[in-house]
Structure 1
Amino acid sequence: MHGLPDNTNPPKWADTLLELCCADRFLEEIQGDLHEWFHKTVERKSLRKAKLLYALNVLRSLKTFRLRSLQSFILFIIDRTMLQNYFKVAIRNVFNHKFFSLINLTGLTFGIASCLFIYFYVKNELSYDSFHQHKDNIYRVVQTNPKTGTKWRSAPTPLGPALHNEFPGIVMASMGEDPVFVELQGSKFYEPNFYWTDSTFFDVFSFPLKSGNPSKALAEPNCIVLTEKIAKKYFKDENPMGKVINVKIYDGDKILPMKITGIAEDPPPNSHIQFDILGSMISGLELYKQFENHWGFNWLKSYVLLESKNDVERIKSQIPDMIDKYLGEGFSEQKGLYFQPLKEVYLHSKDINNKDIKGSIEYVYIFSIVGIFILAIASINFVNLSTARLTVRGKEVGVRKTVGALKSDLIKQFLSESFLLALTSILLALILVVLLWPFFIELIEKEIALEILFSWENLTALLIILFITGILSGTYPAFILSAFKPINALKRATSLSKRGNTNLMRRLLVIFQFGISIFLIVGSLVIYSQLNYMIKSDLGFEKDQLISVPVEDRGLQKRIDILKDEMGKVQGVEKITASGESLPSFMNNTWSFSWDEASEEAKLGIDVVAVDSDYFETIGVKLKEGRNFNKSFHTDSARSFILNNAAVKRIGWASALEKEIQVGGRKRKVIGVVEDFHHFSLKHNVRSTAYFIAPPGNRVSNDNLIIKVSSNDMVKTIEGLSDVWDRFSTEQVFDFKFVDDAYDQTYKADQRFFMIFGFFSVIGILIACVGLFGMVVHMTEQRSREVSIRKVLGASFHSIVVLLSKEFTRLIAFAFLIAGPLAYISTDRWLQQYPHRIDVTIWIVLLAGLLAFLISWITIGFNTIKAAIANPVRYLRNE
């Protein structure tokens, strides 16, 4: 090589590329020729052109036969680091024991990938509402019944002024849901996510405005704020600020010209508050002036911003006095307020009656435990296989100690191998996560950007996983192997395989590993059985062939009886009824409920549903006693109630017929009692319910049609219903849902939970099986000579298979005896959250044990049978 000045040397990156890719036996000759050629080219041509030609010649010289092997490539990379010696040996051992390295890599890769997926799911669940600037001082106002413990998140209109009067420093933002129809340039848009809200909304919550002043956007009447999505939908790329659009308020049955005063960013997916349009509360309160002093009508979601957390206890202690002041002395015994921290709203609201987006802190705990289990199983695989192959590494340890290697050197050596495998597994896991990301997003039904994978926070988490996995997976083998005495390490292989402590630890790890697997199998069976039970159980009415049609327009609601009669004439319609609640329903109206002087003091709550005389017959609910409503009886629409059986039981009467009850401050007579049925799902008990006939225009009057149709020609029937609807309504689009499908959707969160839990349980079990497979392969290798001798002496095929599989069968039996009872107790406790649930019987646990045995025997069977039928001469000759 010519000694050229630094500025006339070949490009360093091209030289590095050549050294990196070219095999050592070709490198010196090729590099020398290229350097000599470069020197001559510089003398004849410009330096820039010579460097360019040199780079091209480097690329041309990299023929396939001159490239390094994969092992040589990795060793070359490692050779350029400070850990040259340790990693050289580690790489060599990985390639020398490809099968067991592959087993370890497979287990760790899928284990880490699964943990990453679970980590992202859990992190997303915990991130809800965390983006608000004042998140630590924002609270949702929840109403409670101190006697029954019932909670509901809706609040009445006068609560806000009362809180402001009693606690002057409080900042409050309320939201009132109100579906609307937007008319714009001849087009009409139905917008169900419209909310009236206070001018302080953007002071309390950190929803950024792209246009407009946050403090003034909702301060005046007839002002609205659109999200970016809605603004683009209405105006495309045009600036909508200052434009006026007509908004028809269904409940108010009024058209309001409203000015666009702000454009908000779309609420992020991890917000429990989701909206499309916000209207100024000033207009909403003017529209619903009848609720201004109505403490019994709850329609607002209310939030408060406090100066500090200390204010919560101070306000809490004064709430009873405030309730008594505004509602009457002693009313605080039946009504209270609970300030729920914003950070708890999404995950800690399963006991609060509402239809908000909500998750479950229990699911977060369960999936976190499953993730830890999976990583533990993957790490156990590594430890087991490493200690199982002591016989192979023992001689290596003896030789290294004989030539002067220290114990600390050996520990570093084995830990470096562990970290190398862990690092490789993490890199492969990252690739797997990227490839499976679309499937993961579809599985959890959440919007999570893939970019989150490469955030500094997550990369730090990966480094922690690398460190923990490397330490946990490598420490025990490292210390066991490095502790061998050279004289023992160099003895016959079997002497090392019979170390009592090592075998005991390996057995304990197998028991622990399959104990986790059995726990996951029991959990999957119980979750599936509970879900299947809820979906297939009788709801108390005939949900098949029922269609529910919402009637949002107040003007159309006043003509709902005429609409009902016309729809009843459509071919294929068997029965039709009108109701104030759809099926399924969250039961949106709860009134005070009393029946005598004693109950008057308590004034319990009862759900009320407006119906007509065809309601119970249409949905197939039977009368337990009394009679149904009758159109010809005028008193039925003014002074009568039908109760469900749950309400009668609550009162304690043997018979409720002809008794008077007071609901919502008005006395009515009970004319009938119906059997209980579920308005929502089996995740809730049937609540006390009163059915009555309400006149049109009432807040709780009929706003849903429920239609029983035949299955002969469903498409034609739906088309006929749509045609009738279009004759009556030019604004609201005909919309419907099948009631049975809608009820199935109420279990959507439970179904998603089962899918996620089941998926990761299968992954964990498969990882355990991969480890067991590797253990069996090693065991059959080690006992091949013993098996051969037994076969020569006449041992049967069956006895050989039993010999090789009985040890693992015993270990799995021990795992079942430990994990079975624990799984039984845990799943039974988990089921307590469901009022209607299955019983965890011993048969479910036994079935899980049987599945665990079948899975393990299938895993073990291939290699044990292979060893049992192998030619014994092959192994005896080698000895």
Structure 2
Amino acid sequence: MLTNYLKIAFRSLLKNRAYSFLNIFGLTIGITCSFLIYLYVQDELTFDSQHTKADRIFRVACEYSLPNNGGTEKWAVMSDWVPQYFVKDYPEVLKAVRFRKSQNVVVERPEGVERFYEEVVYADSAVFSVFDFPLLKGDSRTALNEPFTVVISEHIAQKYFGSTDPMGKVLSLPDFNTQLTVKGILAPIPHNSHLKFHVLASFETLRATNRTSENNWWNFSTYVYLETQKGTDPEDLENKIKRISAKYILDQEESSGYRQEYYLMPLKDIHLKSSFRAEFAPGGNMNNVRIFALIGLFILLIACINFMNLATARSVKRAKEVGVRKVVGAYKKHLIVQFLNESVVLSFLAMVLSVALILLALPLLNDFTNKQLVFNPLSDPGPAVILLGITMLVGLLAGSYPALVLSSFKPVETLKGSFQNSSKGAMLRKFLVVFQFVISIALIISTYVVFNQLQYMRQLELGFQKERMIYLPTRFGQGTAEKFAVLRDELKQTAAVKGTALSSNVPGVELGNNVVRLGWDNNAEWSDMRFLAVDYDFIDLYGLKMAAGRGFDRSFPSDETEGFILNESGVKRLGFDSPQAALGKPLRWQNRQGRVIGVVRDFYFMSVQQEVEPFIMVMLADRTPGYLSVNVATDGFGQVVNEIEARFNEIMPDRIFEYYFLDQDFDEQYKAEANFSRIFTVFSFVAIWIACMGLYGLASYTAEQKMKEIGVRKVLGATVAGIVALLSGAFIKLVVIAFVLASPLAYFAMDNWLAGFAERISIGAIAFIISLVFALLITLLTISYQSIRAARANPIKSLRYE
């Protein structure tokens, strides 16, 4: 019987090649896209799941606030002095592991002939017992027990030691006059881990070089992860540790006005649910993951709907076959199995094509998402099983209704031919077409909104000059401030350079924060603000506009230690009604006291996704600058960069020259949104395209069914335009109904998505007008060929059998 079913299935495929192609190709695209989205979503949801103790590992976040006056800050980092108390005071905590990043430290080759910048991460020796970071060489139990020890990746081993065995060799950090002995080689860390590093040094090295925070609860620089006992209630433990600072430094909190609270975040939630300051690595977005999962489901549903529509529409062609089978003894369940079998065969043919498409499309998806997604059924059969499951689901889902419809035909009606004029299934086909286009139109509206929001963020006036701006990080090193000051002054004399300035930060690099006290009274309340330390030329270099007062001026030497500049948000934070009202008011910041000399207009120091925060601008004075900004007067960057490098090497021959373009780096903040927009757009148009394929097949069948009616109309004088309008009208009505249903759904979905942006577009009527026009246009283009072909057919051919 099964053999017979397969024969009939393949005969039906070959007999109706056009419809078979539409079905198979639609299912192929649907399975391919839904599986690619599955790979992406699974990768996002399984971040950090490779650790066997992942369910018992929690990162501690520190929230501190000024309850009476100021905002709340939630940091992914905290003081390295605090974790010892978690272990000592709470039996639920087995171990605490600290990580501290030291970005772009100079590392020297053993021969001393070449230096590179590397990110060195310091960690406690317990890191290998809490996390699963296996070593290819070395003993994980002792590798980081002592100071001045390090484990490195294979990449670093090859880079610094070539083919020589690196075990026992030394890596030099000249900035800290430190040498690290290699005690192990790290196995490759999975790409879906938020903890990634190539150079992992012992935390004891920081203690040995006096770079830890002894008795200091306020130095936010260290990531802390806790391994808890089995059966520990995270919520209960969080309540216990939340106010541990009150137990040890209550007097400091009361005198400063700051209050600390600690929170636990499960390791596996960090990538998608954490968005604190100073994250270890950029995270994902759970809302985006949900959106992609829904699109994958919609694409699969649309592909299934296509199959159901075409199968039920062509049910008349199979009606006599069903009647004959029933007359000779076939039961309804046998017919259901037969038609489900045909559907599953189609799905498996589609799956074979899908595997090839998946292998071709995966590198493009990886480029879009900056991931390393892999599909290799031989080495990892799990995804292949999922693909097989999707195929079976599609086959059964798509074939279920057609099987029920076809198996329910009455043999008397089908064999007499009276079934030919039945409208059985017509209402369902209309409903399914509407459902398809509800999804499609909602995706068109959403794509328009996502694209325009991204464009709006990129084109929004930021309030500062970022074009033709190059910046050089100062990094570490003895005499760095003095040498960069010399470089700054020399570059000013270069014809191709419009200006230079030193500062603690540049736009796009997160500002530090501290407290400001209005007035010099020690009993006055503190206000929390970001701060930016600059030289005299920074304001002019970046084109900042003054709302009141003046900028820093060399003719006022007191500006270096007593001058403060606020932004407009800072003025509001301190309670002034206007920028002018703040001028001349006494302030205290850290150990400085002075007066407000000016107010700059608010500008977006960080992404426009965030609101402009209050900040205070001070002179660098004795602070070490973090960056040198250079405004280039021409677009010929190559020659200017060469000249800057030559001057840099003359002044600092022992340093590594590096530079960055401010506009490119600032726009990197929108990279996640840009990737989301691209992927969303691609899969949305795939969904629309699959819906159009089904519409094309349905239009073709409708035109075929109405050939005799069209012939009669033409004989009676109907025009081609009139007949095309007749055939198209029914589909146009369905699209309009779909638009009415899709519009509120798309509006509420996009309004919710836009709520995550500080600066956002409004969803105007234009988005809906464009989506309706586009939907109608693609509908007309899709069905026009079949409609015009039917309208222009010779009526004699369709009527000669009457």
Corresponding residue SS for 2:536: coil
Where does 1:102-181 land on structure 2 (aligned, <5 Å)? Answer: 102-145=21-64, 148-167=71-90, 169-178=93-102, 179-181=104-106
1:807 aligned partner: 730
1:523 aligned partner: 446
1:795 aligned partner: 718
Where does 1:511-550 land on structure 2 (aligned, <5 Å)? Answer: 511-550=434-473
Paired amino acid for 1:777: S
String of CA shifts for 1:353-404, please: whole Å, max 9, x gaps. 5362211111110000000000000000000001101211112112222222
1:415 to 340, 354, 364: 340
Paired amino acid for 1:395: K
Paired amino acid for 2:390: I
Paired amino acid for 2:222: L
Q: Is the 8 A contact 2:549 2:583 kept in 1?
A: yes
Where does 1:466-481 land on structure 2 (aligned, <5 Å)? Answer: 466-481=391-406
Aligned equivalents of 2:748 and 2:378: distance in 1?
36
Closer/same/farther in 2, CA of residues 524 and 227 from structure 1, 3 Å limit:
same
Query: Displacement, 1:351?
Result: 5.0
**Higher relative contact order (CA closer than 8 Å, sequence separation 6+):** 2
Query: Displacement, 1:320?
Result: 4.8
2:370 aligned partner: 445
Corresponding residue SS for 1:295: coil
Q: Is the 8 A contact 1:646 1:676 kept in 2?
A: yes
Closer/same/farther in 2, CA of residues 205 and 594 from structure 1, 3 Å limit:
farther
2:322 aligned partner: 397
1:429 to 354, 374, 377: 354
Paired amino acid for 2:179: P
1:283 aligned partner: 205
Query: Displacement, 1:805?
Result: 0.6
Aligned equivalents of 2:214 and 2:664: distance in 1?
38
Closer/same/farther in 2, CA of residues 861 and 726 from structure 1, 3 Å limit:
same
Q: Does 1:739 align with 2:662?
A: yes
Q: Is the 8 A contact 1:592 1:665 kept in 2?
A: no
TM-score (norm 1): 0.86
Closer/same/farther in 2, CA of residues 356 and 662 from structure 1, 3 Å limit:
farther
Q: Does 1:572 align with 2:496?
A: yes
2:576 aligned partner: 653
Q: Which runs of 4+ in 1 moved over 4 A?
A: 146-149, 329-333, 596-604
Closer/same/farther in 2, CA of residues 230 and 754 from structure 1, 3 Å limit:
same
String of CA shifts for 1:446-489, please: whole Å, max 9, x gaps. 11233268733222212321232122111111111111111111
Paired amino acid for 1:305: E
2:768 aligned partner: 845
Say which is worse superposed, 86-95 or 785-794, in terms of deviation.
86-95
1:295 to 217, 230, 241: 217
TM-score (norm 2): 0.94
Paired amino acid for 1:316: E
Where does 1:248-267 land on structure 2 (aligned, <5 Å)? Answer: 248-249=174-175, 254-267=176-189
Aligned equivalents of 1:728 and 1:482: distance in 2?
87
1:610 aligned partner: 533
Q: Extract unaligned runs of 5+ from structure 1.
A: 1-81
Query: Displacement, 1:570?
Result: 2.0
Where does 1:441-520 land on structure 2 (aligned, <5 Å)? Answer: 441-451=366-376, 455-492=380-417, 495-499=420-424, 502-520=425-443
Say which is worse superposed, 148-157 or 528-537, in terms of deviation.
148-157
Query: Displacement, 1:337?
Result: 0.9
Closer/same/farther in 2, CA of residues 494 and 783 from structure 1, 3 Å limit:
farther
Aligned equivalents of 2:163 and 2:355: distance in 1?
39
Q: Is the 8 A contact 1:388 1:497 kept in 2?
A: no
2:691 aligned partner: 768
Aligned equivalents of 1:878 and 1:115: distance in 2?
47
Query: Displacement, 1:529?
Result: 0.4
2:628 aligned partner: 705
- Please say which structure displays the higher CA radius of gyration: 1
Aligned equivalents of 2:278 and 2:769: distance in 1?
38
2:777 aligned partner: 854
Q: Extract unaligned runs of 5+ from structure 2.
A: none
Aligned equivalents of 2:217 and 2:513: distance in 1?
12
Aligned equivalents of 1:145 and 1:405: distance in 2?
75
Query: Displacement, 1:685?
Result: 1.1
Aligned equivalents of 1:475 and 1:860: distance in 2?
27
Query: Displacement, 1:232?
Result: 1.1
Closer/same/farther in 2, CA of residues 573 and 387 from structure 1, 3 Å limit:
same
Closer/same/farther in 2, CA of residues 454 and 839 from structure 1, 3 Å limit:
farther
2:265 to 340, 346, 358: 340
Paired amino acid for 1:190: F
Aligned equivalents of 1:320 and 1:469: distance in 2?
49
Aligned equivalents of 1:308 and 1:626: distance in 2?
61
Corresponding residue SS for 2:180: strand
Aligned equivalents of 1:263 and 1:712: distance in 2?
45
User: What is the aligned-residue RMSD (CA, Å)?
Assistant: 2.1
Corresponding residue SS for 2:222: strand
Paired amino acid for 2:223: K
How many pairs were matched up?
788
String of CA shifts for 1:775-813, please: whole Å, max 9, x gaps. 000000010110011001001122101110111111111
Say which is worse superposed, 750-759 or 733-742, in terms of deviation.
733-742
Corresponding residue SS for 2:168: coil
Percent of residue pairs bearing the same amino acid type: 34
Paired amino acid for 1:173: V
Q: Is the 8 A contact 1:139 1:340 kept in 2?
A: yes
Closer/same/farther in 2, CA of residues 642 and 337 from structure 1, 3 Å limit:
same
Aligned equivalents of 2:82 and 2:587: distance in 1?
28
